[in-house]
């Protein structure tokens, strides 16, 4: 979603009215108040905006219980707010100056974090005076919510990418998951062609028109669509060209099959129409929805780009972080996050088996719960393995215009597949992003 500084006064007032009306709706999460504003009715109450009752809001409710052990009067007022509405409200309130209507804490998608901090610095408090130890999180994840060397967010859900494979299908073709560990994309393509020939199954599927796989390939090499100053680097980008070329080769060979929608993508997994998945670890929830496939999956790292400087077998896709606002109870909000999302093994032990909420907080991986064998994945302790992957993911500069860059590259990929010269398509993408940046 694009942010703009040029909303007219009437538009801002109307949007603000809609935002506040939505905030007071009866469908909110536990204990939503009428305004959604920070501070709550009491000094020990924090208001939070977050989405997904089964994941993020559940985690908040469990974190509340953990913090109440030492702070019995503490309470969270949770306002269930879809991500798109969070962004709209933040934009509207920041532009109208009605920052007193902000909550104490809100959840922010990682790839949108820096843009919001840059555009609306007055709605973010930093963690300089908090006790949060950011060295206990993967550097690549902390980087999303860091601007000018200042931390503005506490990482939560883990977007570390995994290579997940159907061991029974691989076995039919004479392979095991070890054959997909620490390999290059060229090797993956070669094996994938063999698996397809012997089993009729493609190695991967994905949504047509999406650049997610390209973005994962880029980050695995510590590369980006932007330089350190935030300028677009879509043209003459070695890693981007290599990623697009490999993606095209896989699609042409039938090793990667494109589908039309997200639902179709999930169906290829649960209906045994693909031999593997490369995506953020959150995809494991969808994989495990196919109960008949229990014991037939294994997890490893992802392939790396050939001949690209800095290429690794580790990357990420997605994730979010908690932000605090300066107009609410800033100190209490920071203490709450430090004691729970940045400091409690018991908390993460509780939410992992119930919701699949994998920590970015690295000490959680030392817990026995994270080391437990997962029957669905053939007894592999995948959660402990993924936290090890997380520590190896390279940092990259997403830039303030990440979504504009990603969308422009998605269009370029479609154009390239339709016959446009790659150089021309990427030059058009670069121009599109430069125009969006003003």
Are both 403 and 279 inside the same structural domain?
yes
Band of pLDDT at residue 95, cut at 50, 70 and 90: very high
Query: What average pLDDT does range 306-323 have in this prediction?
Result: 95
Are both 218 and 305 inside the same structural domain?
yes
Domain that holds residue 106: 10-158+319-369
Are both 202 and 70 inside the same structural domain?
no
Are both 310 and 326 inside the same structural domain?
no
> Taking all residues of the chain, what is their mean pLDDT, rounded to a whole number?
89
Are both 178 and 287 inside the same structural domain?
yes
pLDDT per residue over 251-310, tens digit each? 999 999 999 999 999 999 999 999 999 999 989 888 998 999 999 999 999 999 999 999
For residues 319 and 157, is the Cβ–Cβ distance under 8 A?
A: yes
End-to-end Cα spacing for the chain: 16
- Give domain status of residue 389, yes or no: no
- Report the CATH number at residue 299: 3.40.190.10
- Give domain status of residue 331, yes or no: yes
Are both 74 and 176 inside the same structural domain?
no
pLDDT per residue over 181-201, tens digit each? 999 999 999 999 999 999 999
- Give the percent of the chain with pLDDT over 90: 78
The pLDDT of residue 112: 92
Of 34-38, 131-135, 312-316, 382-386, the range with the lowest mean pLDDT is: 34-38
Band of pLDDT at residue 438, cut at 50, 70 and 90: confident
CA distances from 186 to 161, 241, 247, 249 (A): 19, 14, 11, 10
- Give domain status of residue 139, yes or no: yes
Are both 358 and 281 inside the same structural domain?
no
Are both 165 and 152 inside the same structural domain?
no
Residues 6+ away with beta carbon under 8 Å from 144: 110, 111, 113, 114, 153, 155, 319, 321, 398
- Give domain status of residue 1, yes or no: no
Are both 275 and 310 inside the same structural domain?
yes
Are both 275 and 420 inside the same structural domain?
yes
pLDDT per residue over 97-145, tens digit each? 999 999 999 999 998 999 999 999 999 999 999 999 999 999 999 999 9
Residues 6+ away with beta carbon under 8 Å from 74: 44, 45, 46, 64, 67, 68, 336
Q: Record the pTM.
A: 0.80
Are both 98 and 243 inside the same structural domain?
no
Please determine, for residue 247, whether its predicted confidence score (pLDDT) is greater than 50.
yes
Residues 6+ away with beta carbon under 8 Å from 215: 317, 406
- Give domain status of residue 3, yes or no: no
Count of Cβ atoms closer than 10 Å to residue 309 Cβ = 10
pLDDT per residue over 347-401, tens digit each? 999 999 888 788 899 999 888 999 999 999 999 999 999 989 999 999 888 878 9
Token representation of residue 179: 């054959």
- Give domain status of residue 255, yes or no: yes
Count of Cβ atoms closer than 10 Å to residue 196 Cβ = 18
CA-based nearest residue to 399, from 270, 232, 271: 232
Q: What is the sign, positive or negative, of the torsion defined by CA atoms of 58, 301, 146, 343?
A: positive
Are both 224 and 274 inside the same structural domain?
yes
Count structural domains, the chain. Answer: 2
Band of pLDDT at residue 36, cut at 50, 70 and 90: low
What number of CA atoms fall less than 13 Å from residue 426's CA on the CB side? 18
- Give domain status of residue 376, yes or no: no
Count of Cβ atoms closer than 10 Å to residue 4 Cβ = 10
Band of pLDDT at residue 41, cut at 50, 70 and 90: very low
Token representation of residue 28: 């909110």
- Give domain status of residue 383, yes or no: no
d(CA 40, CA 47): 6
């Amino acid at each position: 979603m694009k942010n703009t500084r040029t909303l007219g006064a009437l538009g801002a007032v109307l949007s603000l009215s809609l935002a506040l009306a939505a905030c007071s709706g009866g469908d909110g999460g536990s204990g939503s108040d009428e305004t959604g504003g920070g501070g709550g009715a009491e000094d020990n109450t924090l208001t939070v905006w977050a989405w997904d009752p089964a994941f993020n809001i559940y985690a908040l409710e469990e974190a509340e219980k953990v913090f109440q052990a030492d702070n019995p009067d503490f309470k969270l007022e949770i306002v269930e707010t879809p991500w798109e509405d969070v962004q709209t409200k933040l934009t509207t309130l920041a532009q109208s100056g009605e920052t007193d209507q902000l909550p104490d804490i809100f959840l922010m998608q990682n790839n949108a974090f820096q843009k919001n901090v840059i555009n609306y610095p007055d709605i973010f408090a930093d963690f300089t005076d908090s006790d949060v130890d950011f060295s206990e999180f993967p550097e690549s994840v902390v980087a999303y919510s860091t601007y000018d060397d200042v931390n503005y967010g506490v990482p939560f859900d883990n977007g570390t990418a995994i290579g997940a494979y159907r061991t029974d299908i691989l076995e039919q073709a004479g392979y095991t998951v070890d054959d997909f560990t620490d390999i290059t994309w060229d090797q993956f393509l070669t094996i994938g062609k063999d698996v397809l020939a012997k089993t009729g199954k493609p190695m991967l599927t994905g949504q047509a028109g999406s650049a997610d796989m390209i973005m994962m390939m880029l980050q695995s090499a510590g590369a980006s669509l932007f330089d350190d100053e935030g300028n677009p680097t879509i043209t003459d980008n070695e890693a981007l060209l290599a990623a697009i070329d490999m993606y095209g080769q896989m699609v042409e060979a039938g090793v990667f099959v494109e589908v039309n929608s997200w639902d179709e993508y999930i169906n290829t997994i649960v209906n045994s129409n693909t031999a593997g998945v490369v995506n953020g670890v959150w995809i494991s929830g969808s994989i495990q929805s196919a109960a008949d496939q229990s014991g037939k999956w294994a997890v490893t790292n992802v392939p790396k780009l050939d001949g690209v400087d800095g290429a690794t077998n580790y990357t990420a896709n997605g994730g979010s972080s908690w932000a605090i606002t300066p107009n609410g109870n800033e100190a209490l909000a920071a203490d709450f996050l430090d004691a729970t999302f940045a400091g409690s093994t018991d908390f993460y032990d509780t939410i992992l088996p119930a919701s699949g909420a994998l920590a970015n907080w690295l000490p959680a991986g030392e817990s026995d719960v994270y080391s437990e064998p997962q029957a669905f994945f053939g007894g592999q302790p995948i959660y402990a393995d993924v936290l090890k992957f997380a520590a190896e993911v390279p940092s990259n500069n997403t830039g303030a215009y990440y979504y504009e860059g990603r969308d422009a590259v998605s269009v370029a990929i479609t154009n390239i597949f339709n016959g446009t010269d790659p150089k021309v398509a990427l030059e058009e993408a670069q121009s599109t992003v430069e125009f969006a940046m003003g």
